[in-house]
Amino acid sequence: MLPRLTLVLGGARSGKSELAERLVLNNGQPAVYLATAEVYDKEMRSRIDAHLARRGPLWRTIEAPLNVAGPLAAATDQEVVLLDCATLWLSNHMLAGSDLAAEGAALVTALRGCRAPVVVVSNEVGQGIVPENKLARAFRDAQGRLNQQIAAAADLAVLTVAGLPLVLKGRMPG
């Protein structure tokens, strides 16, 4: 059984989304996918299509590039929610000129208040070199703060590296 809030972190192509999807499906309840990606080009369309094909018909998908609080509030305790991913959600808010601290706090409040178990996927972006431009540095810093907030609220936090899960907090179900 999944805990109320799970955070799955990892770098690009680390296996974090696949792990998160398995955790949700293994819970045995209807799966809700909160998709935060927006299609800006053919490459992103291809990525989204690949995710849709991998998930198949077992998922109810809700497009939520900015407003995830509404779908989280509407979820029932008979479902499991996957938010994929907090990184794209944050970048959407950054591009929209939102107050990132306020949005992050509101997200954590919405995650804590959700009646369904929630699995959040997020990128670990702070392990590389310091970005050379101000916008990239601001994003890296905001992502690190958001990951810390979600991890503090989470019952389970897992870092995925090379497809392997490393439990940072809590205990993996099963």
Residue 136: predicted pLDDT: 93
Residue 154: predicted pLDDT: 98
- 50 is a domain residue: yes
Distance CA 74, CA 115 (A): 8
Spans of the chain, pLDDT less than 70? none
- 174 is a domain residue: no
Residue 92: predicted pLDDT: 96
Instruction: Provide the residue range defining the domain that includes 24.
Output: 5-169
- 13 is a domain residue: yes
Distance CA 29, CA 89 (A): 25
Which residues does 121 contact at the CB level (< 8 Å), separation at least 6? 8, 16, 17, 20, 82, 83, 84, 85, 86
Quote the pTM value: 0.94
Write the CATH number for 137. 3.40.50.300
Which two structure tokens, joined as six digits, stand for 51?
């995710």
Q: How many CA atoms lie within 13 A of 156 on its CB side?
A: 22
Catalytic residues: 51
